[in-house]
Amino acid sequence: METIFITGVLGQDGAYLARHALEKGHRVVGGVRSSSGANTWRLDELGVARDVELVDFELLEEPNIRAVLDAVKPDRCFNLAAQSLVGTSFRQPLLTADVDGMGVLRLLECLRMAGGQTRFYQASTSEMFGRAIETPQRETTPFYPRSPYGVAKVFGHFITRNYREAHGMHASAGILFNHESPLRGAEFVTRKVTLGLARLRRGTGGPLRLGSLDARRDWGHARDYVEGIWQMTEQPQGDEFVLATGHSSSVRDFVFAAALCLGFDPECRGEGDNETIVDRPSNTLLVSIDTSLRRPAEVETLVGDASLASERLGWRPTIGFGALVAEMAAADYQRAGHVPAAVS
Ligand code: NAP
Ligand code: GDD
């Protein structure tokens, strides 16, 4: 039995990864920010809240990181904690840089000072590719981040590589493309859509307002992705891997798929910023455009090539776009009927 320490354990990936590690028979300790109220709803939904030991953890506070590592003595440390909202990073760039960039260095340095024997995983992101130089994006594609979040994550990525090369640490970084689930935060577009349309279907909410319908993402399922993350830390040495499905869909495609799952018959009307999506039989407005929700700089299209992870880790995504949307829509339809807003 190993001791697995997961920062950001109350987030989407943290919850799935905690369950994965518990199923493998390990002790799981999760870092939580007491300042944010420690809402354990995701661990509760997965039925593992009682099995995860929670400790106060703050990536901005180096003495706290040192004390936690001293007490926990992890065999593996997964750094999933981040200010992970791309839009917010434009309004809070300094905080984002401190948590998502310097926070990685604080953690790595504390691990090094503690002996450097802990296997380390850094949650890097396809957002680092930004205005992508080539398609599909792979491990060797140059980065061109388009947000303070993306820039901070590039620092986290390279400092992870540096600690591997300079100090011989077992340090890996997963360049993960968007992955979603019923446990996704409601601020992200997929969950915003499934929760919003489910409430509309239940008659407990109004039409959705989205920044745009054109952006394309390579959307996979978080359950698949945490298996890839785990595999990276099982390798003889640390390395860097892209995890992606290889298929991209637009926000519009996602809205249509979710609307169909929820029994609507969606149709586009109008063009550009006047485009709407309407339920044809009832003439109900489902979605309109709100340009104030747009970001100062947008990432239009991302699609990844996970061949290296397939070859070296034996990793392949098992849940396709249709099944992902159906699972999210069904979960939000249930939630919208019972406890409105409890999980947003
Ligand atoms: P998430 O749901 O937003 O979870 C992030 C977690 O980090 C939250 O539990 C949050 O705590 C915690 N956190 C934020 N600031 C912190 C701080 N200063 N100190 C300690 N903890 C802090 O994110 P996710 O979707 O699970 O993603 C996990 C990681 O993968 C993130 O690093 C994200 O940037 C990266 N990533 C995600 C995707 C994706 O598509 N999901 C793709 C690529 C990379 P609170 O609960 O207290 O807010
Ligand atoms: N959130 C949001 N809300 N996004 C919208 C909206 C809206 O109303 N309307 C359009 N979008 C577009 C965004 O501009 C973006 O192009 C796309 O939908 C996806 O947005 P998000 O779901 O917020 O995710 P993201 O791609 O910006 O970032 C997520 O994936 C990254 C991996 O590429 C986050 O999980 C990041 O933490 C992660 O690194």
Q: What is the pLDDT of residues 215-273, one digit of tens each?
A: 999 999 999 999 999 999 999 999 999 999 999 999 999 999 999 999 999 999 999 99
C-alpha distances (whole Å) from 3 to each of 22, 74, 172, 289 are 10, 5, 18, 47
Q: Active-site residue 45, yes or no?
A: no
Confidence of residue 344 (pLDDT cuts 50, 70, 90): very low
Q: Specify which residues 120 forms β-bridges with.
A: 77, 171
Residue 296, pLDDT > 60, answer yes
Position 38 scores a pLDDT of 83
Position 341 scores a pLDDT of 43
Does the pTM exceed 0.75? yes
The kind and range of the H/E element at 301 are none
Could you tell me the two tokens for 77?
A: 């440390």
Q: Specify which residues 269 forms β-bridges with.
A: 276
C-alpha of residue 252 to centroid of ligand 1, in Å:
25
Ligand 1 pocket member 125 (CB < 6 A): yes
* Protein residues whose CB sits closer than 6 Å to any atom of ligand 2: 84, 86-87, 125-127, 177-178, 187-190, 192, 210-212, 215, 217, 251, 293, 295, 298-299, 302
C-alpha of residue 13 to centroid of ligand 1, in Å:
8
User: Which residues touch 310 (CB under 8 Å, ≥6 apart)?
Assistant: 316
Residue 320, pLDDT > 60, answer yes
Average pLDDT over residues 55-61: 97
Residue 1, pLDDT > 50, answer yes
Position 343 scores a pLDDT of 43
Q: Is 95 exposed, middle or buried (0-12, 13-18, 19+ CB in 10 A)?
A: middle
Confidence of residue 338 (pLDDT cuts 50, 70, 90): low
Among 5, 20, 34, 84, name the best residue to mutate to test ligand 1's pocket (greatest count of ligand atoms within 8 A of Cβ). Answer: 84
* Fold that domain 3-179+219-243 belongs to in CATH: Rossmann fold (3.40.50)
Where do you find CATH 3.40.50.720 in the chain? 3-179+219-243
Among 96, 129, 178, 184, name the best residue to mutate to test ligand 2's pocket (greatest count of ligand atoms within 8 A of Cβ). Answer: 178
**What is d(CA 324, CA 13) in angstroms, rounded to the nearest whole number?**
15
Q: Active-site residue 125, yes or no?
A: yes
Position 37 scores a pLDDT of 75
DSSP, res 74 = -
Position 340 scores a pLDDT of 41
**What is d(CA 26, CA 338) in angstroms, rounded to the nearest whole number?**
34
Could you tell me the two tokens for 334?
A: 């249930």
Where do you find CATH 3.90.25.10 in the chain? 185-217+249-299+319-343
Among 83, 129, 189, name the best residue to mutate to test ligand 2's pocket (greatest count of ligand atoms within 8 A of Cβ). Answer: 189
- Mean pLDDT (the chain) is 96
What is the CATH code for 185-217+249-299+319-343? 3.90.25.10
pLDDT per position as a tens digit, 67-123 = 999 999 999 999 999 999 999 999 999 999 999 999 999 999 999 999 999 999 999
**What is d(CA 158, CA 141) in angstroms, rounded to the nearest whole number?**
14
Q: Which of 96, 118, 125, 233 is catalytic?
A: 125
Average pLDDT over residues 41-54: 98
C-alpha of residue 23 to centroid of ligand 2, in Å:
31
C-alpha of residue 42 to centroid of ligand 2, in Å:
20
Q: Active-site residue 149, yes or no?
A: yes
Average pLDDT over residues 25-36: 92
Residue 34, pLDDT > 90, answer no
pLDDT per position as a tens digit, 134-147 = 999 999 999 999 99
pLDDT per position as a tens digit, 170-185 = 999 999 999 999 999 9
